[in-house]
Amino acid sequence: MSRSAHPAGPRHADVLTEGHYSAPAADLNVLDEKVWSRTVTRDADGALTVGGIAVARLAEEFGTPAYFLDESDFRARCRAWSEAFGPDADVFYAGKAFLSRAVVRWLKEEGLNLDVCSGGELTTALDAGMPAERIAFHGNNKTVAEIERAVEAGIGRIVLDSFQEIVRVAHIAQRHGVRQRVQIRVTVGVEAHTHEFIATAHEDQKFGIALADGQAAEAVRRALSLDGLDLIGVHSHIGSQIFDMAGFEVSARRVVQLLAEIRDEHGVELPEIDLGGGLGIAYTSEDDPREPHEIAKALSDIVTRECEAAKLRTPRISVEPGRAIVGPTAFTLYEVGTIKPLEGLRTYVSVDGGMSDNIRTALYDAEYSVALVSRTSDAEPMLVRVVGKHCESGDIVVKDAFLPADLAPGDLIAVPATGAYCRSMASNYNHALRPPVVAVRDGEARVIVRRETEEDLLRLDVG
Ligand code: LLP
């Protein structure tokens, strides 16, 4: 479709004078490697390929919308994290970002541990053969049944989140005749610079036990007094999609201070601290994430320094990256449907998915990038909003982006960095069928989570 047949909203010069948007990339055909998974490239025909397979073939075989996950990139990121932290630390992948049995097997093979936060995630982990001792169990309201299951399985650690849970886990462990390894999750009072809904260390929220008013110290007192519990350390998670290391440093310092207070009061040096996950990734060219080795160095330096000052043995550190491992490894492939230019505003490009496969834009005002991937184009950039097919005007996938002005129905576009919190937060809104996750590696593609079908919908609806 030519630009004149399909007027393309404001030109980028108008947009720049408005000052709301970044300029379009000089060449929209160039894929910014910061936001795409490692094996993504364009082939000689200009089509995007991942793991050596062109998107047109993937779309034909697996349909759209679909998530394509670059398995070798996932594995490389696992290795980068565990090498960065070394043998004296533990990396727990946060399964909430995206979990499937294939992912569990990759984690196991790459030597990572796993953090789960529900009975469903625990079942997936155990079913796929993750050794129970390599699993940590989180959550502010674990049910008695979930705790029973975790204790029975011999789970590595339960992260205690409230005074009631301290007692609950102790009783269940005692009933099973075991001493359950536990950590206490504390809220360190850091304001993480991220969206309110994904910040978790300020005091006015539902997670953890506050350090500030002595609550955490009291929780430690109680945990140490109960026979069913083996208190191995303290846990802090300050939030998610964070770039600034300052918050982690404050958190690490306060957690070490608590260890020193525990040593002074009880004569016990707890052997571990967990500093949670939350490291940011690049969703657009403007994001500059830290590399795992920089993060590992910053965290271990601060912990070592603080421990020396407090004359404590340096505890074993663990971290729980979810997004930073899986986020960059997948993109969502969509087929372009309706294109609606709104004169003087922008062009609405509708795709065959939407808020049911990516709720993050609507929920957190998240920013994403998008590219035309079934071909290249020399047409001018046009300002677009990529929207879904749901009955809601907030159904936006990419709020502001540039695509070539000759974009046409049937083109394939892809949104990178959708590996984390997209499939795992997908819904059936409007009875949408949740898309498959297809793992691609070395020229082979295989479904690891299949597409939902209308039969699946009807099976749950028992009439
Ligand atoms: N550890 C704990 C205790 C957590 O609560 C979380 C995330 C993580 C680790 C992993 O954080 P990550 O490294 O993935 O940032 N749905 C939101 C994110 C919620 C994160 C919840 N907890 C989003 O889409 O941005």
Domains of the chain: 3-70+328-458 (2.40.37.10), 138-321 (3.20.20.10)
User: How far apart are the CA of 4 and the centre of ligand 1, in A?
Assistant: 45
- Among this protein's residues, is 391 annotated catalytic? yes
- Please tell me the distance from the alpha carbon of residue 22 to that of residue 33, in angstroms, as a whole number: 18
Residue nearest (by alpha carbon) to ligand 1 atom 15: 278
Q: What is the dihedral of CA 247, 251, 254, 259, to 10 degrees?
A: -160
Q: Is 138 in the pocket of ligand 1 (CB under 6 A)?
A: yes
Q: Name the 3-class secondary structure at 297.
A: helix
Task: State the closest ligand 1 atom to the C-alpha of 359, by its place in the atom list counted from 1.
Answer: 24
Regions of the chain where pLDDT drops below 70? 1-21, 192-202
Q: Is 360 in the pocket of ligand 1 (CB under 6 A)?
A: yes
Task: State the closest ligand 1 atom to the C-alpha of 424, by its place in the atom list counted from 1.
Answer: 16
User: How far apart are the CA of 254 and the centre of ligand 1, in A?
Assistant: 21
Task: State the closest ligand 1 atom to the C-alpha of 321, by its place in the atom list counted from 1.
Answer: 13
Task: State the closest ligand 1 atom to the C-alpha of 185, by its place in the atom list counted from 1.
Answer: 3
Query: In this structure, is the dihedral angle defined by the CA atoms of residues 375, 376, 382 and 385, taken in order, positive or negative?
Result: positive
Query: Under 8 Å CB-to-CB from 117, ≥6 apart: which residues?
Result: 95, 96, 137, 138, 139
User: How far apart are the CA of 94 and the centre of ligand 1, in A?
Assistant: 7
Q: What share of the chain is helix, strand, coil (3-state, %, to 5)?
A: 35, 25, 45
User: How far apart are the CA of 419 and the centre of ligand 1, in A?
Assistant: 13
User: How far apart are the CA of 239 and the centre of ligand 1, in A?
Assistant: 7
- Residue 20's pLDDT is 52
Compute CA 222 distance to the chain's CA centroid, rounded to the nearest angstrom: 33
The model scores a pTM over 0.85: yes
- Residue 25's pLDDT is 84
User: How far apart are the CA of 115 and the centre of ligand 1, in A?
Assistant: 11
Task: State the closest ligand 1 atom to the C-alpha of 280, by its place in the atom list counted from 1.
Answer: 15
Nearest to 195 by CA among 160, 227, 241: 241
Query: Under 8 Å CB-to-CB from 101, ≥6 apart: which residues?
Result: 124, 127, 128, 448
- Residue 236's pLDDT is 97
Q: Is 320 in the pocket of ligand 1 (CB under 6 A)?
A: yes
Nearest to 140 by CA among 168, 115, 165: 165
- Residue 169's pLDDT is 98
Q: Is 278 in the pocket of ligand 1 (CB under 6 A)?
A: yes
Q: Is 322 in the pocket of ligand 1 (CB under 6 A)?
A: yes
Q: Which of 99, 320, 415 to mutate to test the pocket of ligand 1 (most atoms within 8 A of CB)?
A: 320
Q: Which two tokens stand for residue 319?
A: 């971290």
Q: Is 324 in the pocket of ligand 1 (CB under 6 A)?
A: yes
- Residue 394 region, left (φ>0) first, then alpha (ψ -120 to 50), else beta? alpha
Q: Name the 3-class secondary structure at 401.
A: strand
Q: Is 276 in the pocket of ligand 1 (CB under 6 A)?
A: yes
Check: CB of residue 245 under 8 Å from CB of residue 302.
no
- Residue 272's pLDDT is 98
- Residue 21's pLDDT is 66
Q: Which helix (H) or strand (E) holds 254?
A: helix 246-266
